[in-house]
Amino acid sequence: MEIFRRLGVTRTVRDAGLPPDHPNDIAFRTMTTGIEFARIPIPCRAERYTAKGGPDTWWPTPEPPHRINQIYLEPLLVDHAASMQGVTLLNRTRVVGFTQSADRVVATAEDLDGGDILEIACVYMAGCDGAHSEVRRQIGAILTGDAEVGRTQSTYIRAPSLIGLMRAKPAWSTQSLNPRRSANMFAIDGRETWLIHNYLRPEETDFDAVDRDRCIRLIPGGGPDFDYEVLAKEDWIGRRPDIAHAAAASPWRRCPRVWRTARRSA
């Protein structure tokens, strides 16, 4: 939020996401509709600037945190970037390679729809394209650390009846802790859409072998008559990099001019 303040989009971002009065709390329950045995209170959006009590109101900053899902945040940032002078957004474009000299980088990019090849010359290039990044591979950055700390079966659902089945008031994050299934459910729109992170057990190494429908019914506690719609699903493996080793082997060091500039700015 401090970065968004510098960009001038704080109000736009804070006005999106959960409804103004929806609790940002973290709840711990036997299941989503089950018994609640603990809760971490976090101010709702309407009270973020004024709340004084509780464990998440001490922020010594003009802009405290804000809960907003990526599906709401990214369009706002895209619109803001598109309105900035000197910014060009290229969608459906993939960087396939680059060359680096002492004073610049030239990236080669492919238009995924038309097949046209573009060359983009720049002073800096940042590879922000994830763990399987082509840029990351070409600069020689590798993962050191734990290759796997857990597997998560994630499902984005629409379930309008779920909020009415809960015994306790809603929360942003609801942790389900029981011997049958451990999971975390996040409120997306605060009304009917939810994201379920189903944490697989160590012996459950095959995502497809875990019955997704059964888990979606078991985690909320809605039972066999629980009505829901799958909007999207994405299963992923959590990894933990060795931060100290990554800093020592940083590819920034390969370009002394860039490294010195970054160090002065830090």
Q: Are 252 and 262 in contact (CB under 8 A)?
A: yes
Q: Average pLDDT, stretch 100-104?
A: 91
Indicate the average pLDDT of the chain.
Answer: 87
pLDDT in tens, 174-214: 999 988 888 999 999 999 999 999 999 999 999 999 999 99
Full-model pTM: 0.82
Beta bridge partners of 106: 99, 121
Amino acid identity for residue 211 in this structure: D
The pLDDT tens digits of the residues spanning 120-144 come to: 999 988 888 777 788 888 888 877 8
Residues whose CB is less than 8 angstroms from the CB of residue 91 and which lie 6 or more positions away in sequence, other chains included = none
| Number of Cβ within a 10 Å radius of residue 24 | 22
Q: Which two tokens stand for residue 266?
A: 């830090």
In whole angstroms, give the CA distance from residue 157 to residue 219: 13
Average pLDDT over residues 51-80: 91
Q: What's the rounded Cα separation, in Å, for the pair 196 and 218?
A: 11
For position 258, what pLDDT does the model report?
Answer: 37
Predicted confidence (pLDDT) per residue in 217-231, tens digit = 999 988 888 999 999
Return d(Cα 44, Cα 98) in angstroms, integer.
45
Residue 224 token pair: 């066999």
Instruction: Please give the torsion angle defined by the CA atoms of residues 252, 255, 257 and 261, in that order, rounded to the nearest 10 degrees.
Output: -10
Average pLDDT value for residue range 244-263:
43
* Mean pLDDT confidence for 69-89: 93
Specify the amino acid at residue 108: T
| Tokens 């001019």, residue located | 257
Q: Please tell me the distance from the alpha carbon of residue 158 to that of residue 176, in angstroms, as a whole number.
A: 18
| Distance between CA atoms of residues 243 and 110, nearest Å | 33
CB 105, CB 98: distance < 8 Å: yes
Contact, 129 vs 136, CB < 8 A?
Answer: yes
Q: Rounded to whole angstroms, how far apart are CA atoms 2 and 229?
A: 36
